[in-house]
Amino acid sequence: MKPDQTKPSAATRIERDTMGELAVPAAAYYGVQTARAIENFPISPLRMPRSVIRAMGMIKRAAATVNHSLGLLEKKPTEAIKQAATEVVEGKWDAEFPVDIFQTGSGTSTNMNTNEVISNRATELLGGARGSKLVHPNDHVNLGQSSNDVIPTAIHIAASETMQQQLLPALTRLRKALDRKAKEFDKVVKIGRTHLQDATPVRLGQEFGGYARQIELGIQRVKRAQAALSEVALGGTAVGTGLNCHPKFSAKVMAIVSKETGCTFKEAKNHFEAQSAQDSLVEASGVLRTIAVSLMKIANDIRWLGSGPRCGLGEINLPETQPGSSIMPGKVNPVIAESVTMVCAQVIGNDVTVTVGGQAANFELIVMMPVMAYNLLQSIELLATASSNFAAKCIEGIKANEERCKSLIEESLAMCTALAPEIGYEAAAKLAKEAYKSGKTVRQVAKDQKVLPEKRLTELLDPWRMTEPGGPVGSAGG
């Protein structure tokens, strides 16, 4: 038999909201609306990311400061709210945020959860009992606000701050590691590959320079995403009109939050856009997807270049991190690169969810905010940790296998490309086919057939020369 939820016990207290009375755990800082959300959404173990809860605390703390400065909130509740909100920011009450991600689409349950925790803690600080609403969750903590503008604002703050503190430093470390390898490997000439087939030579440093540039561009994309996230919905209240909100409230709150986070936030130019859609979150997620695609390419190239050690490409040697097989002794696998590819797959999948969430915008409100927040923040954090780990446990320890690179170049049939401008495409192709059929190198066949003077042949078939622009002009192949 289900217990009566409207009667108190030693372990509960009774709280009332507009829907009636409900028992709440006596020790809880959350209140009746959070308790209803717990009952209503027993969907998953997923909870709002810590970074969003931190951002919620920052908003509530700044809101109390601003409301007091505007003469809307008395000093005692202001100070109590600020202390309680600071404790939320610091993570002291994380266990008091039990609401499932799969909840009301606006995130109202999370906003009320935050209001109730801060309300009850502030009430306690002023000598009142939890649940007594000496500091009221709506009238005081939520003053000048609505879930519809607070939740998207908190997500923007959380995403931008996490990008600033975690993702950008991780990508910067990875870019520097790749750039160092590009310089270290600049004199190592190897065979290039297109369509997974032998192509004309490149330098190993050039390949790594391309990877470094991919990450550099990813860093630029993150910064552009932060710019898109800088406009926030706070100040629009329920539908974007700003009803029940002081006209100076949003700008003042965002000035405080910007100073505290080191990121720039400002009131949206148009509150109807800021609340009825979340194109900026979709854009940010798209940036993360693009970075995931870059990392997938780099990680897979690293796996291929290090394949072997004897029967693969083997042009680089990867750091040995752990035994690779439970049955094959001595086998070592590219596990760090593999972990990166799985992170990339997750981020690409998360982007689909954020994109679908962005489509759930009807009239004046978007109603998939919590799941958009969860996926976006997970993507940021996964890319940050994976990039840092990739740099530390893989890229920084890579060594070039120079002898292997040299031997593969000489065996490549694509060496004939350098001869084409002088002997013609058809003759060069015939030479390559003869080399393949005979098992000889292009150089050997060209010497045997005396297609050019030996000195000129040596000049044209110099692998280093082929890695630089210039030389005889002709078809470059594909």
Q: For the chain, what are the domain ranges?
A: 12-143, 149-402, 412-462
How confident is residue 472, by pLDDT bands cut at 50, 70 and 90?
A: low
| Residues near 376 by beta carbon (within 8 Å), at least 6 away in sequence | 155, 159, 281, 284, 285, 288, 350, 354
Q: Please give the single-letter amino acid code of residue 13.
A: R
**What residues are paired with 66 via a beta bridge?**
none
pLDDT value at residue 179? 98
pLDDT value at residue 252? 98
Q: Is the pLDDT of residue 477 over 70?
A: no
Q: What is the largest CA-CA distance in the chain?
A: 102
**What residues are paired with 30 via a beta bridge?**
none
> Can you give the pTM of this predicted structure?
0.94
On whether the CB atoms of residues 127 and 80 are closer than 8 A, the answer is no
pLDDT value at residue 322? 81
The DSSP line for 368-403 is -HHHHHHHHHHHHHHHHHHHHHHHHHTGGG-EE-HH
Q: Which two tokens stand for residue 93?
A: 């009450």
pLDDT value at residue 435? 87
Q: Is the pLDDT of residue 174 over 60?
A: yes
How confident is residue 152, by pLDDT bands cut at 50, 70 and 90?
A: very high
Q: Which residues have a catalytic role annotated? A: 195, 325
On whether the CB atoms of residues 109 and 37 are closer than 8 A, the answer is yes
What mean pLDDT, rounded, does the chain reach?
94
Q: What is the mean pLDDT of residues 387-392?
A: 98
pLDDT value at residue 476? 53
Per CATH, domain 149-402 is 3.40.630.30: no
Q: Is the pLDDT of residue 8 over 80?
A: no
pLDDT value at residue 386? 98
pLDDT value at residue 327? 76
pLDDT value at residue 265? 98
Q: What is the mean pLDDT of residues 465-476?
A: 71
Q: How far is residue 42's CA from residue 98's CA, in Å, rounded to a whole number?
A: 10
pLDDT value at residue 451? 87
Q: What is the mean pLDDT of residues 101-107?
A: 98
Tell me which of 167-181, 217-231, 306-320 is least confident.
Answer: 306-320
pLDDT value at residue 1? 41
3.40.50.1370, 1.10.40.30, 3.10.450.350, 3.55.50.30: which CATH number matches 412-462?
1.10.40.30
Of residues 415 and 206, the one with the higher pLDDT is 206
Of residues 182 and 7, the one with the higher pLDDT is 182
Query: From its phi and psi, is residue 20 left (phi > 0), alpha (psi between -120 and 50) or beta?
Result: left
Of residues 405 and 471, the one with the higher pLDDT is 405
Provide the pairing of β-strand 12-17 with 20-25: antiparallel
Q: Is the pLDDT of residue 215 over 90?
A: yes
Q: Where are the alpha helices (DSSP H) in 335-368?
A: 335-359
CB atoms within 10 A of CB 48: 28
Q: What Cα–Cα distance (Å) separates residue 264 from each residue in 92, 157, 240, 287?
A: 26, 9, 21, 19
Q: What is the mean pLDDT of residues 135-156?
A: 98
What's the CATH code, domain 12-143?
Answer: 1.10.275.10
Q: What is the mean pLDDT of residues 380-403?
A: 97
- pLDDT per residue as tens digits for the range 10-68: 799 999 999 999 999 999 999 999 999 999 999 999 999 999 999 999 999 999 999 99
How confident is residue 9, by pLDDT bands cut at 50, 70 and 90?
A: low
